[in-house]
Amino acid sequence: MRKKMIFGITVAATLVAGLVCFCIWFLSGTGSTYYYSQIDNSKIEQGKSGGGVIDFSGSGGMDYSYTLFSYDENGKGKNITFGTSKELKEGSFIRLTVMPIRGVLEWSEVQYGDLPAAVQSNYTALSNE
């Protein structure tokens, strides 16, 4: 009986430790990949506000949604959808931090010169840079 109890406690402790490790990994952003894209405001969708204090739409206060073809640092591309609270500057370049399961964690504007060479080959520099 005592061996079964020790085995049960060991299994439970292992499961809890595994869950804690998964949560730390999931929340930390470790394993994320950078993708790069150029803003095309013809690809924007404006969300509808629920008008209440609690947002039941699941958009997290993001009023706009973009679906843009984006490239990783090796030039491999795919469509990525992300939300913003504002309309972004047409033609600007952005870096998206994307994690499996969670999707886009954050985005930031970058200059053409900051894009990896494999990504630059898919775009042309803006004239005001």
Classify residue 59 by burial, with Cβ atoms within 10 Å: 0-12, 13-18, 19+. Answer: middle
Whole-angstrom distance, CA of residue 39 vs CA of residue 58: 23
Nearest to 96, CA basis, from 87, 86, 109, 113: 109
| Residues 90 and 45 both lie in one domain | yes
- The answer to whether residue 76 sits within a structural domain is yes
- The answer to whether residue 66 sits within a structural domain is yes
- The answer to whether residue 129 sits within a structural domain is no
| Residues 46 and 107 both lie in one domain | yes
| Residues 22 and 84 both lie in one domain | no
| Residues 50 and 95 both lie in one domain | yes
* 71 SS3 class: strand
CATH for 98: 2.40.50.480
Nearest to 112, CA basis, from 88, 128, 99: 128
| Structural tokens at position 101 | 């399961």
* Interacting residues of 67 by C-beta distance below 8 A, sequence separation 6+: 43, 45, 79, 80, 81
Q: Does the pTM exceed 0.95? A: no
Quick: pLDDT tens for 1-45: 888 888 888 878 888 877 776 666 666 556 689 999 999 999 888
Quick: pLDDT tens for 58-88: 555 668 899 999 999 999 999 999 988 889 9
- The answer to whether residue 89 sits within a structural domain is yes
